[in-house]
Amino acid sequence: MLQKGGLCLTLFASLLICPALLGKGITTQRLHELSHSHYWRVLLHMKEGKSDIDDASFFLTDTEHFSAERELEATIQQIEDQNETIACRYPARIYWLKQNVPELFTKKKFVCEEVERRIEKEHIQGVTLVFPTAYLNSPASMFGHTFLRLDRDLATPLVSEAVNFAAQTDETNGLIYTFKGLTGGYKGLYSVLPYYKKIKEYSAMEQRDMWEYSLDLSHEETLRLLYHLEELGGISSDYYFFTKNCSYNLLWLLEAAKGDTHLPEYFRYKVIPVDTIRLLHEKNLITKTVYRPSKRREMQQLLKGIENIPLTKKFVQTYELKLLDKVNKKQQVKVLDLAVLMLKQERSKQKINKKGYIKTLMKLLRYRSRLPAAERLKVTKPSDPVSGHKSAKFSFWVADHKRWSLQIKPAMHDLYDIATGYLPGAYIDFFKLSIVQSKFRRFDFVSVTSLAKWDRFFQPVSWRVQIGVSRVHGKGIYCSLEGGAGISMAKKAFSSYLLFVPKLYAGKRSHSAVGMEGGIFYDSRFMRIGALVHKDFFDDGIAETGSELFITDKISQNMALNLKLHEDKIDQHSERHLDVGLFYYF
């Protein structure tokens, strides 16, 4: 009797001491280890102890008391209960558990036939990251955008599918979109749609080049990505313009594929799309790069070979074929090819109805079929965005009389920076702080400048908008709003611009000003030389004038020297300084 009692006590004590989950075939110690593994936390999109997914339907456990261990325990409980539907809801979790705890699957296979058939049917051969470059006229596209392409056939990408993460909104007001995007006012969703539809979407914005980066993913890594993508269908997360945006959320998919690169952990306070591409490049995850020029670039390339610009302008407005009799057949080919491109652009922007579009297009193509084949259009390839400097920047200058100044901003490219890897004439600053001699100078909440060049055919408007806080006459601090328009021109390595810029300042006493500003630049791969000038006339009768010469010399991809000689004049008082500075990009 005592022996039996002792045996019972021994067994009871062993159950207390031996950390096990009864009936689950896995010890609590093993459960703890697995729940703290990097990959399990990737599947939950966990960073710093919290999941980036805000949708409660993604989890099996209560999100108010969420933990990775409780979620894993709940998943294993579903397996122990022989609930095979979990394989359809969480194929990536099941795939990972089969590799790490195979003893859980001795009774049933837990295979979702629906998911397996879908993946087999798609027959994905590779994965490509696609980067449509910046488009300054749309707040949603100012920094560019990234999405994944699931390649069924590497030779014919148009039959592939695109994986996108985007804010769910139909908002067309740029200010409202920006405000809600900055404050998490939208929900973001993953979606899968035909790649040709994404191409069509961007073709409406004819100035957006597209870069395609083939990724180094094995068959198993691609399978893990597809399984995790199945889990994320219909699952929403709060969308933030600067942090939890399209590019950041794609990193979770890529991390689910690779499992050991820690991609999301590199970004905390901001995520600029091109910075994520640079990270993939640094991690040696890019195997091939393909450049696809925008419609605007193709048109500009065609225009280089067109001799009679006035006739061409008239033709693309009227499409009168008799106008072509005035030029030779070689010129007719170029004019017609340009006209077809412009007609397609008009249709994509809904400027012509479908019936009129088809009628005009067929007329042009019938005439074009009588002419010889055109030479292959060779568009000059710009520098790869990967080769540009990183988006955040710290600047420090020293000058005469122990004068110093500094600037810091999280994003992203301004007039002083080397243009390599960036869209020429496109400048964006966010949250830029400027200090001179420990004294606040200005803070730009946002500053956007678009210097779209004029040519013989296209005459776009250049413009600038700035919202922030700045000093007026070097004294009082005011909220500022600046906005203006003008023209910009470029010829080879040289470019110039001239803008008319009204300005408003709100404070204890409001001020307004009208001004002109302009500049001329010379650019090379390693240097930018520029001259800038501005003059503002204030409502209180005071005039401010500024002029400067500068040179920015590239030291490395993310470091440059800056030398500038500038003179600032407020009414009759003027100061001249020679500043030597260092730019550090991070």
What does the pLDDT average to over 495-516?
96
- Of the chain, the end-to-end C-alpha distance in Å amounts to 75
39, 259 Cβ separation under 8 angstroms: yes
> At 18, is the pLDDT very low, low, confident or very high (cuts 50, 70, 90)?
very low
Domain ranges for the chain: 20-110, 121-292, 295-368, 388-585
The structure's pTM equals 0.91
Q: What is the pLDDT of residue 13?
A: 39
Structure tokens at 55: 């949708």
Decide if domain 388-585 falls under CATH 3.30.2130.10: no
Instruction: State pLDDT tens for residues 429-488.
Output: 999 999 999 899 999 999 999 999 998 899 999 999 999 999 998 888 999 999 999 999
* Measured CA distances, 458 to 296, 299, 313 (Å): 10, 10, 10
Host H or E run for residue 230 = helix 219-231
What does the pLDDT average to over 193-201?
87
**12 pLDDT more than 60:** no
**17 pLDDT more than 80:** no
Provide the H-helix boundaries in 287-421: 295-303, 309-318, 329-348, 354-368
Host H or E run for residue 181 = helix 174-183
With b for 16 or more beta-carbon neighbours within 10 A and e for fewer, the 331-346 pattern comes to: bbbbbbbbbbbbbbbe
Least trusted range by pLDDT, from 6-10, 443-447, 495-499, 542-546: 6-10
What does the pLDDT average to over 285-313?
94
Structure tokens at 29: 């110690």
List phi, psi (to 5°) of 463.
Answer: -155, 165
> What torsion do the CA atoms of 280, 194, 124, 259 make, to the nearest 10 degrees?
40
